[in-house]
């Protein structure tokens, strides 16, 4: 028989699994709407510190071979689904703009797209104009150990 803790661990795993599937479906749906390829979606246990999520692609922006959104498992566990979804949608905005326009910046077009998708930005990026979207949660920076 499972102990209470084992049961809880299985439940947490199932929740993360279902959440991952949900985001992969969101990526598929939005990519199809905009007629761009679907990115791969991953949880990554090695994304720590202030990187809650990241986007990367392979190949030149006019001939992208493959693309992926990586989400920090630590941020997900600390802040939960709502926060993680907003980080994810921020990365999905990058995915759309890089495929559609070769635009990898955080310019005004990015901000508009990010807000339209329901994504979040950090406060500095959002500025006054998009301050409602400034809801990024970040894990604190890891303290560097200094040699003595
Ligand atoms: Zn960004």
pLDDT at 145: 58
Helices (H) and strands (E) in the chain, counts: 4, 3
Starting at the earlier edge strand, list the strands of the sheet with 66-72.
Answer: 40-44, 66-72, 53-58
Report CA(66)–ligand 1 centroid distance (Å): 18
Give the whole-angstrom CA distance, residue 45 versus residue 40.
16
What tokens does 112 get?
């508009």
pTM over 0.75: yes
pLDDT score at 30: 97
- The confidence score (pLDDT) of residue 148 equals 58
pLDDT, position 99: 97
How many A from CA of 21 to the centre of ligand 1?
A: 22
User: How far are the Cα atoms of 68, 74, 104 from residue 78, in angstroms, in the given order?
Assistant: 22, 6, 28
Query: Distances from the Cα of 26 to the Cαs of 21, 37, 72, 114, 136, in angstroms?
Result: 9, 13, 18, 14, 19
Ligand 1 centroid to 5 CA: how many Å? 37
The pLDDT assigned to 141 comes to 62
**From ligand 1's centre to the CA of 6, what distance in Å?**
37
d(C-alpha 137, C-alpha 123), whole Å: 10
Phi, psi of 100 (to 5 degrees): -80, -35
Rounded to the nearest angstrom, the distance between the alpha carbon of 23 and the centre of ligand 1 is 17
125, 106 in Cβ contact below 8 A? yes
Q: Which CATH architecture has domain 4-133?
A: 2-Layer Sandwich (3.30)
**Beta-carbon neighbour count of residue 39 at 10 Å?**
26
Tell me the pLDDT of the chain (148 aa) as tens digits.
Answer: 788 888 888 887 778 889 999 999 999 999 999 999 999 999 988 887 778 999 999 999 999 999 999 999 888 988 899 999 999 999 999 999 999 999 999 999 999 999 999 999 999 999 999 999 998 777 766 555 566 5
pLDDT value for 16:
85
- H helical segments located in the chain: 4-33, 73-101, 108-117, 123-126
């Amino acid at each position: 028989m499972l102990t209470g803790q084992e049961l809880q661990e299985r439940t947490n795993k199932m929740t993360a699994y279902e959440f991952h599937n949900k985001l992969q479906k969101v990526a598929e749906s939005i990519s199809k709407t905009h007629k761009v390829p679907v990115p791969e979606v991953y949880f990554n246990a090695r994304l720590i510190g202030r990187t809650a999520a990241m986007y990367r692609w392979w190949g030149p922006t006019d001939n992208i071979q493959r693309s992926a959104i990586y989400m920090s498992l630590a941020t997900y566990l600390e802040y939960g689904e709502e926060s993680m979804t907003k980080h994810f949608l921020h990365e999905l905005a990058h995915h759309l703009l890089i495929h559609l326009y070769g635009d990898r910046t955080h310019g005004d077009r990015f901000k508009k797209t990010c807000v339209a998708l329901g994504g979040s930005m950090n406060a500095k990026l959002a500025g006054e104009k998009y301050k409602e979207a400034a809801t990024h949660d970040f894990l604190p920076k890891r303290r560097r150990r200094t040699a003595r």
